[in-house]
């Protein structure tokens, strides 16, 4: 029985079962078509830990392997992936391979390949792997997630825990879910097809055997599926895959140059909208693309290239899909009037240069990696692109900065009442000994002062 036997005569028509015979039809042809492209992804990371100090007495008995010396602990990650190119490109979730030093992929036919991570996109929670010495693999066709409708039948296919493939069936429960909190770009497909632990990175498949989403997260109180799963649409997956095929090491997305806010019911009524919708512009970066296009504070973005915008997360997703180059058409509400503006799709500028440094020496910042804030750095960290100053990019494990509690995205405003405008300012301040450290930090838009001895 071929796949076409399951499809209606006209590919665009969608029908519900009309007889008992139709209800008893099987999904097996679709599964046979796509299952060779769904793989198991597993990786390892070796961490060194220092359980406790060791003096010379213990060193004489234990040598370099004593209780106070670094000891190795191996952590493993298991998930799923999908082959999207016959020459060995695999898409999976970034969280599946995050921090992994070695990655392997097992195919449905039990062949195994070493894999190279060629692109990570943490903001979209996607990663692209290249299988070494692989060719003529079975790749899945990328479908158009924009054509999905609530109620469409879908299959969730994964290869978790190395025990073999699992297939579950369900429907599209909702589209454009924006309050999931899994990645920076919130625009998920929701499905009731069971997505269990280990299925992350697997495929959400339509009835044509096309990939329409990458299964990413579930809502669960127990850790198991309760029928609320979320997948990244292929509209986002395609952009990341194309970047990898073009040799890019990072996905460069356009810079809008404005701060947005949700539209409340009161705001909607005041400006004549029939319901809360769109994204309200509350601030503009001087000289940014939005300001240059003539957008103003108080404008409400209602549509992007004809796609309606319900909230600011939907705008962020639609805008990010466009890539850089060319322009984009926005439909706006300004007062009682609707108008259209074209915004150029430009990459965020790295001005000033980031000048990344790792702080050493005896100070509360020892082990912190910091950079100068620019629209490019702020965009990477999902921060307000108008922010300025010195930002924490990461802290080393077991470092003073880590123990003090500095976090990625913290802006160091001042040290001992001296403003920190550049990384060189911070380097200079931390190179001097001090009895007290009075530090002003901006975290998520709120400033606080901490004093350390």
First-residue to last-residue Cα distance in the chain: 75
- The vertex-450 CA angle with 449 and 452, nearest 5°, equals 150
- The enclosing H or E element of 217 equals strand 210-218
How far is 431 from 151, CA to CA, in rounded Å?
Answer: 62
Chain centroid to CA 367:
26
Instruction: Of 166, 238, 202, give the one whose Cα is nearest residue 38.
Output: 202
> Is 200 annotated in the active site?
yes
Of 80, 85, 121, 125, which is the active-site residue? 125
> Is 125 annotated in the active site?
yes
How many Cβ atoms from other residues are within 10 Å of residue 386's Cβ? 16
Instruction: Of 307, 298, 301, give the one whose Cα is nearest residue 256.
Output: 301
Among left, alpha and beta (phi > 0; psi -120 to 50; other), residue 37 is alpha
Of 35, 85, 95, 410, which is the active-site residue? 95
How far is 279 from 308, CA to CA, in rounded Å?
Answer: 11
Q: Which residue has the tokens 């597993």?
A: 42
> Is 95 annotated in the active site?
yes
SS3 of 300, please? strand
Let me know: does 322 contact 308? Beta carbons within 8 Å. no
Of 80, 173, 200, 225, which is the active-site residue? 200
Which residues does the annotation mark as catalytic?
A: 95, 125, 200
């Amino acid at each position: 029985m071929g796949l076409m036997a399951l499809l209606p005569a006209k590919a665009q028509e969608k029908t519900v079962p009309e007889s008992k015979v139709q209800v008893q039809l099987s999904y097996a042809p679709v599964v046979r078509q796509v299952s060779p492209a769904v793989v198991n992804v597993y990786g390892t990371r070796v961490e060194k830990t220092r359980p406790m100090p060791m003096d010379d007495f213990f060193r004489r008995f234990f040598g370099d392997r004593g209780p106070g010396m670094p000891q190795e602990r191996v952590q493993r990650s298991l998930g799923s992936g999908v082959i999207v190119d016959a020459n060995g490109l695999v898409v999976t979730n970034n969280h599946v391979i995050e921090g992994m030093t070695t990655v392997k992929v097992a195919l449905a036919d039990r062949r195994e390949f070493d894999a190279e991570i060629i692109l990570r996109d943490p903001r979209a929670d996607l990663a692209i792997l290249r299988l070494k010495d692989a060719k003529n693999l079975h790749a899945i066709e990328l479908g158009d997630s924009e054509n999905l409708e609530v109620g469409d039948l879908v299959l969730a296919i994964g290869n978790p825990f190395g025990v073999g493939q699992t297939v579950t069936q369900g429907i599209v429960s909702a589209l454009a879910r924006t309050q999931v909190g899994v990645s920076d770009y919130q625009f998920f497909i929701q499905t009731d097809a069971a997505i269990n632990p280990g299925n992350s990175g697997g495929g959400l498949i339509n009835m044509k055997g096309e990939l329409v989403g990458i299964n990413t997260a579930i809502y669960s109180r127990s850790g198991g599926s309760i029928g609320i799963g979320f997948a990244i649409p292929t509209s986002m997956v395609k952009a990341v895959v194309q970047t990898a095929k073009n040799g890019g090491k990072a996905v460069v997305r356009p810079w809008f140059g404005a701060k947005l806010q949700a539209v409340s019911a009161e705001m909607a009524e005041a400006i004549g909208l029939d319901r809360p919708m769109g994204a309200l512009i509350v601030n503009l970066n001087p000289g940014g693309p939005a300001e240059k296009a003539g957008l103003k504070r108080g404008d409400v973005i209602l549509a992007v290239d004809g796609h309606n915008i319900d909230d600011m997360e939907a705008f962020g997703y639609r805008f990010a899909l466009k890539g850089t180059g060319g322009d984009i058409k926005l439909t706006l509400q300004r007062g009682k009037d609707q108008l259209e503006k074209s915004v150029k799709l430009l990459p965020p500028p790295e001005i000033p240069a980031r000048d990344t440094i790792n702080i050493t020496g005896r100070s509360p910042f020892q082990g912190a990696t910091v950079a100068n804030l620019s629209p490019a750095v702020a965009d990477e960290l999902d921060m307000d692109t108008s922010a300025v100053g010195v930002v924490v990019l990461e802290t080393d494990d077991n470092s003073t900065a880590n123990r003090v509690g500095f976090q990625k995205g913290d802006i160091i405003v001042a040290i001992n009442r001296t403003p920190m405008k550049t990384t060189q300012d911070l380097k200079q301040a931390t190179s001097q000994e001090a009895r007290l450290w009075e530090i002003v930090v901006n975290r998520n838009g709120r400033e606080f002062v901490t004093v350390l001895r």
